[in-house]
Structure formats: structure tokens, C-alpha cells
Amino acid sequence: MAKLYFRYGAMNSGKSTALLQAAYNYEERGQHVLLAKPLIDTKGASQIESRLGMTREVDFLIGGDDDARALFRQERERKRRDAGASLLPEEPADVACLLVDEAQFLSEAQIDDLFRIAVEDGIPVLAYGIRNDFRTHAFPGSARLLAIAHTLEELKTICRCGRKAVFNGRRIGGRFVFDGDQVAIDGGGDELVTTYESLCGNCYLEESGGRLG
């Protein structure tokens, strides 16, 4: 049975790198994959960017109200047609898996779509994302993935103190902030640039003055 996987981690835990590596591993074996991400992520628009400098264009973007399963089926058909033209008889034409970056930004219904792609369409789905926001609450997509994914895998990264990082501290112009919208839109000059630091529970509470959420 095909499964829905949620590979989650704090910011900077190498999720996009892991995703691109997974795609490469499939393709090295002559298999086809589809890559997708939510439309909300304006950074790099339609590309998956790893911090190591690798980038790759996604096959499709999932808009806020889109039916992710319908988009997948459309792309799966296109891939089959494209592959079919140049295939040897023993080569597979179908896609081997769907890889989704920034899955925390998908809606609950879209995560349900991913679940159905795995269970009803029989294609494994590997969703990569951040578990919680800068105020330590789960993103809607992540909450749903944590609830229904068949397999949860943590991608670990280290806090500045050496402990495992589990939170994502938000800085604006270098200063930690603990209020604001779940998704930050960058604007203004350098003094307003939003960055994130992966933090362990101890360092998060130290920076927030004991506040959690």
C-alpha cells in the first residue's frame, strides 16, 4: 500500500535538500516523480530551493482553493504521455511518487487530497514541512499531516546551544518577535527583514521571556 509520509523539521533542517535528494534517488533508478508546492510561498515562486544552492522547478503549484488531487491527476497523465513517447517496453511510464515542499501551507482539505492520492490512487506522497510557527502553534497543513500521515519522520537540526531545535524563532531586523501573522511578508528596508532561527525549548523560552504561544 502506498503511504503518506510527513517529513518535518524546524527551519534550516534541510527539508528542501532532502526532497531534491529523494527526487534524484528515484530518477537515478529510471523512475519518474512529480514535484509540487503551495502557491503561497512567494520566495522562489515555482522553484524548490535548497540552502546548498540547488534549485528545481516544480511540476505544479497548489493554490489556496485548489483540489490537489485533481491537479496531481492532470500532471500524472501529462507525465505518462510525455514518458510514453520515448519509452522502452520494460520502462515504467507512471510516476513513482509525489514530493511536496512547504506542506505546512496547504489546507486541511489539501492534506486529505494527499492522503487519497496515496491510499486511493496508490502513489506514495512525501510531504516536507515545518511543524510549528514562530509562536509554537502548528500550521494547519502540519496539524492535519501529524494527524493522518502514515509515517512521521523528523529531520533534525541543532539549536545554537547544541540541543535539538524544535521551534522557529522569528526575528525582524535582528530582534526576536512573538506577535504577528503566522506567515510573515517581508517588506521595507533592512531593519524590517524577517529571518528565522531554529531554537530548542530552553532557548525559545529564554528569548520569549517564558512565553509559549
- Contact region with Zn ion (CB under 5 A), list: 91-99, 101-109, 119-127, 152-160: 152-160
Active site residue 102: yes
- Give residue 34's identity as a one-letter amino acid code: L
Using CB under 5 A, pick the residue from 161, 183, 192, 212 that binds Zn ion: 161
Q: How far is the CB of 89 from Zn ion (least distance, A)?
A: 56
> What angle, rounded to 10 degrees, do the helices at 108-119 and 140-148 form?
30
Using CB under 5 A, pick the residue from 11, 126, 127, 159 that binds Zn ion: 159
Q: Is 97 annotated as a binding residue?
A: no
Q: Is 15 exposed, middle or buried (0-12, 13-18, 19+ CB in 10 A)?
A: buried
DSSP H helices, the chain, are: 15-28, 68-85, 108-119, 140-148, 201-208
- Give residue 11's identity as a one-letter amino acid code: M
Residue carrying the nine cell digits 494527524 = 147
Contact 168, 104 (CB under 8 A): no
Q: Is 107 annotated as a binding residue?
A: no
Q: Is 12 annotated as a binding residue?
A: yes
Binding mask 128-147 for Zn ion (x = CB under 5 A): --------------------
- Contact region with Zn ion (CB under 5 A), list: 1-9, 82-90, 103-111, 155-163: 155-163
- Among 75, 102, 197, 207, which one carries the catalytic annotation? 102
Question: Which bin fits 12, alpha (ψ -120 to 50), beta or left (φ > 0)?
Answer: left
Q: How far, CA to CA in Å, does 3 sit from each of 114, 151, 188?
A: 10, 7, 43
The smaller minimum CB distance to Zn ion, of residues 115 and 204, is found at 204
Contacts to Zn ion from residues 192-211, by CB under 5 A: 200, 203
Active site residues: 102
In the complex, which residues of this chain contact Zn ion (CB under 5 A)?
159, 161, 163, 200, 203
Binding residues for ATP: 9-16, 101-104
List, as residue ranges, the binding site for Zn(2+).
159, 161, 200, 203
